[in-house]
C-alpha cells in the first residue's frame, strides 16, 4: 500500500505482494487446524507451541528480519497487513506473533551486534527460540524510565538484580531483552542499559515467580520473574551501556504500530460478528440491524475502523520512508485503534444480548480480549500525552 507514491499520486491499494500476504495469512488463520489450536488454548490456557511451530514454517515469526538471519525481509506495511489477519481470528495468537517480531526480534535486529543477531535471530525465526521484552516492574509501568532493577559491573561480568512484571511469554522464552539501571536517573539521561539474558530454569538466580491467571487472551502467558545476582557477560549488552532507554523507546515506537493493527483486526471481527448475528436475530418484527439506532452505531464503528486502519497504514509507511513523524502517527493510530477495539467489542457484546453472558460466545470472547488493548504497550492516556506534547511544541 502506498499512501503517497513518488509521482505525487494518492494510491490506497495494496500491492500484489501485500494481497498475497493478506490472503495467505487469512487462509492459514481460517484453517481447521488453527481453529483447533485456538479452541485448545481457550480451554487449557497454555502457550500454543504447535501453532507457533507452523507459523515459523510459514515465515511469520521473523517477518521484517533480514533473510540472512532467516527472516522474510518484509517491509513495515507488509507486516501489518499480516497482523490484521492474525488479530481478526485470535488476539492472543496475534500477540504471540507480535512479541516475537516487533518486540524481541526487532530490538535484537536493530540494536544487536553481528554476533548477537547471528546467535539469536535464526533460531527465533525457526521457532526454536522464543523471546520476550522485560521492562515493566511492580512499580514501573507507564513511567517506563523509573525501573529499579539494577545491573553492576564486576570485572568482565554484569550482575543483575530485580523483578520484572507483566512480561508476555516469559514462561516460554529462552531469551529476554531485560532493562536494568546502570546509573542514577537524571534529566535527559534515564541511566538504563539493555541486556540479552538467556532466561530459564538453568540460569542461576533466575526465578519464574508467577504466571498470571488471566481473564482473557488465553494462549499467551503473562509472567513475573526475579533476577537474584544473575550474571551475564559483557557481550550481553544490547546497544550501548547507559542507553537502554533508546532501545526501549524505539522498540515501543515500532511495536506500537503492530498493536494498533491488532486493535483494527479485533474491531473488524467484532463489527462483522455483530452484523452477522444482528441480521438473523429479530426484534419487533425485523432484524436487529435494521433498527435505526443499531444501524447508526454500526455505521459509526465502520467510520472509526476505516479511520484507524488508515492511521496505521500511514504510520507504517512513514516508518518505511524514514520519516521521524511516524512516532506521532503511531501514537494516534494506537489511541484510535485501541479505543475502537474496546468500543466495537462492547457493541458486539451489547447486541448479542443474553448470549454474551456465556463465556463461550464470540461476543464475550471478543469483549474480554479487546478490553486490554487500550492499556498495554502505552495506555491511551500516554498516547494522548505524546500527541499533545508534539502539538504544543510546534
Neighbours of 115 (CB within 10 A): 9
- Which helix or strand (DSSP H or E) is residue 237 part of? strand 237-238
CA dist., res. 252 & res. 376, Å (int): 11
- Quick one: CA dihedral 11, 75, 22, 269, positive or negative? negative
Which of 16, 321, 377, 381 is labelled catalytic? 377
**Catalytic: 172?**
no
The span from the CA of 48 to the CA of 97, in Å, is 11
Sequence-distant (6+) residues with CB within 8 A of 175 are: 104, 108, 120, 124, 129, 130, 131, 132, 196, 197, 198, 199
What does the DSSP 8-state code read for residue 4?
S
Question: Hunting for cell 498493536 — which residue is that?
Answer: 259
Q: How far apart are the two ends of the chain, measured CA to CA in Å? A: 30
Strands (E), 61-148: 131-134
Yes or no: say if 195 and 248 are a contact pair by the CB < 8 Å rule.
no
Give the three cell numbers for residue 330. 503511531
Chain centre distance of CA 336: 15
Specify whether the CB–CB gap between 282 and 288 falls below 8 A: yes
Contact 127, 47 (CB under 8 A): no
Residue 189 DSSP symbol: B
Distance CA 125, CA 89 (A): 22
Number of Cβ within a 10 Å radius of residue 112? 21
Element (H, E) at 33: helix 32-44
Q: Report the C-alpha gap between 117 and 170 in whole angstroms.
A: 20
**Which residues does the annotation mark as catalytic?**
377
Amino acid at each position: 500500500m502506498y499512501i503517497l507514491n513518488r509521482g505525487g499520486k494518492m494510491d490506497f491499494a495494496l500491492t500484489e505482494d501485500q494481497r498475497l500476504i493478506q490472503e495467505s495469512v487469512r487462509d492459514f488463520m481460517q484453517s481447521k487446524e488453527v481453529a483447533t489450536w485456538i479452541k485448545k488454548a481457550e480451554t487449557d490456557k497454555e502457550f500454543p507451541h504447535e501453532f507457533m511451530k507452523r507459523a515459523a514454517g510459514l515465515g511469520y515469526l521473523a517477518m521484517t528480519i533480514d533473510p540472512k538471519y532467516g527472516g522474510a525481509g518484509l517491509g513495515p506495511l507488509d507486516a501489518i497487513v499480516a497482523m490484521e489477519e492474525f488479530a481478526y481470528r485470535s488476539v492472543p495468537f496475534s500477540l504471540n506473533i507480535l512479541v516475537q517480531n516487533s518486540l524481541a526480534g526487532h530490538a535484537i535486529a536493530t540494536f544487536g551486534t553481528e554476533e548477537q543477531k547471528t546467535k539469536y535471530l535464526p533460531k527465533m525465526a525457526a521457532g526454536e527460540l522464543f523471546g520476550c521484552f522485560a521492562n515493566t516492574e511492580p512499580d514501573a509501568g507507564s513511567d517506563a524510565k523509573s525501573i529499579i532493577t539494577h545491573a553492576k559491573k564486576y570485572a568482565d561480568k554484569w550482575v543483575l538484580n530485580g523483578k520484572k512484571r507483566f512480561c508476555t511469554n516469559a514462561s516460554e522464552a529462552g531469551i529476554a531483552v531485560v532493562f536494568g539501571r546502570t546509573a542514577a536517573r537524571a534529566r535527559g539521561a534515564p541511566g538504563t542499559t539493555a541486556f540479552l539474558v538467556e532466561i530459564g530454569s538453568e540460569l542461576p538466580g533466575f526465578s519464574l515467580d508467577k504466571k498470571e491467571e488471566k481473564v482473557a487472551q488465553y494462549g499467551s502467558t503473562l509472567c513475573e520473574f526475579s533476577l537474584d545476582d544473575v550474571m551475564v557477560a559483557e557481550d550481553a549488552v544490547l546497544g550501548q551501556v547507559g542507553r537502554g532507554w533508546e532501545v526501549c523507546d524505539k522498540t515501543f515506537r515500532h511495536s506500537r504500530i503492530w498493536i494498533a493493527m491488532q486493535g483494527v483486526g479485533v474491531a473488524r471481527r467484532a463489527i462483522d460478528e455483530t452484523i452477522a448475528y444482528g441480521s438473523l436475530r429479530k426484534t419487533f418484527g425485523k432484524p436487529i440491524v435494521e433498527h435505526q439506532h443499531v444501524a447508526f452505531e454500526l455505521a459509526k464503528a465502520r467510520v472509526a475502523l476505516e479511520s484507524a486502519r488508515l492511521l496505521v497504514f500511514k504510520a507504517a509507511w512513514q516508518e518505511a520512508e524514514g520519516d521521524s513523524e511516524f512516532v506521532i502517527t503511531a501514537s494516534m493510530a494506537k489511541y484510535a485503534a485501541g479505543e475502537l477495539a474496546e468500543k466495537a467489542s462492547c457493541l458486539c457484546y451489547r447486541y448479542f444480548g443474553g448470549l454474551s453472558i456465556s463465556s463461550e460466545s464470540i461476543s464475550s470472547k471478543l469483549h474480554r480480549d479487546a478490553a486490554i488493548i487500550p492499556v498495554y504497550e502505552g495506555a491511551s492516556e500516554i498516547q494522548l500525552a505524546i500527541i499533545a506534547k508534539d502539538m504544543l511544541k510546534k
